[in-house]
Structure 1
């Protein structure tokens, strides 16, 4: 027997109307976060307001504030996306790395490329603002600590070293610190020529030092 007119809609029909709405909401949120990242990288912290990001994303200010009531909410969520994107990018780039000779240099290049990427430059804008804003700092520091631990773990895996060896641990951490420093040097000027020389020298030094450390 058919459904009586005016009766409640079947559960499946009700869910089918909700799902597209949820998908649109997720898509809107994603556009806002990606626009925030682009805006941070291109124009800096001061210019990255909810209004500017909403306009760039093609979203109304009201819709943007529904997802992110304050700029701090928007930026924190954008940094979370950046953290996830940065980790995913590192893992993706790990595929196809050469084995044997040349692997240490290839791994180092991947890490340096990450720290000179637009994602890193966007994150740097947030770090600078957080240094002068304690409430923002409290949001940002745990996210960056999470990324730092994950980046260290991925680098250890890619290099195939034993992280319980204190020498190997410090070498990996020093490599990441150096890669971050090269990223900072690239912010104001094109530092690619000097960076290339440093990558070649440090990869040879690191490879020799890791081979002297105990194998995992």
Structure 2
């Protein structure tokens, strides 16, 4: 019996989704390893195992590919953070564990790729237009998750600033991590900040 057009179309749609996913993952990997300047559509297509023609059909320019990767990266960052947050312990070590999750997130390769995009977007208006709203979305979600995990009442004066200071701290530590792994020093800083939070937050 001949397959119907609908049944034939589903595998093709699945193959297309899988190919796009490989291209986006390869783009993120290239951003981490080679930076924005070293990432090319040719390199991405080779890494993804996708023909140059197929890659150009879906993403005709480098910016088109990178903009799609920005959204993919945004979703990936949110999913990784939420997944790590779901495993947090309850009890005396909870605050320090929250900081560990945040610190690991901002020291991850996914954050390094995001940094490459931020830097490139600074002088590329088209890329900035794509990156800025997505980064704002990530920022809001990370802030919300931090408030939730730490159990902070932001209506109490000073608490919102503590949350923002926490995020600025882990983001800065993540930035420092891009030029050298200093996990021991990062751990000591997070230990001390956990003490501050536990003292300051009722």
Q: TM-score, normalised by structure 2?
A: 0.96
* Gap regions ≥5 residues in structure 2: none
SS in 1 for 2:158: helix
Q: Post-superposition shift, 1:165?
A: 2.9
Deviations, residues 22-56 of structure 1 (Å, cap 9, x unaligned): 00000000000000000100111111111110010
Task: Pick one of 22, 32, 37 that aligns with 1:46.
Answer: 37
Task: Pick one of 123, 134, 140 that aligns with 1:132.
Answer: 123
Larger Rg: 1
CA distance in 2, matches of 1:74, 1:194: 37
Q: Post-superposition shift, 1:99?
A: 1.6
Q: Post-superposition shift, 1:164?
A: 3.0
2:61 equivalent in structure 1 = 70
Q: Post-superposition shift, 1:91?
A: 1.1
Report matched runs for 1:119-158 at 5 Å. Answer: 119-158=110-149
Deviation above 6 Å: which 4+ runs of structure 1?
none
CA distance in 1, matches of 2:174, 2:87: 24
Count of matched residue positions in the alignment of Structure 1 and Structure 2: 202
CA distance in 1, matches of 2:9, 2:154: 48
Q: Post-superposition shift, 1:113?
A: 0.2
The reply to whether residue 31 of structure 1 matches residue 29 of structure 2 is no
192-201 vs 24-33, greater mean Cα deviation: 192-201
CA distance in 2, matches of 1:200, 1:76: 37
1:6 equivalent in structure 2 = none
Task: Pick one of 69, 72, 94 that aligns with 1:103.
Answer: 94
User: Superposition RMSD on alpha carbons, in Å?
Assistant: 1.4
* Gap regions ≥5 residues in structure 1: 4-8, 212-216
Deviations, residues 86-119 of structure 1 (Å, cap 9, x unaligned): 1111111112312231111000110010000000
The reply to whether residue 194 of structure 1 matches residue 188 of structure 2 is no
CA distance in 1, matches of 2:123, 2:156: 37
2:201 equivalent in structure 1 = 210
Q: Post-superposition shift, 1:65?
A: 1.2
1:171 equivalent in structure 2 = 162
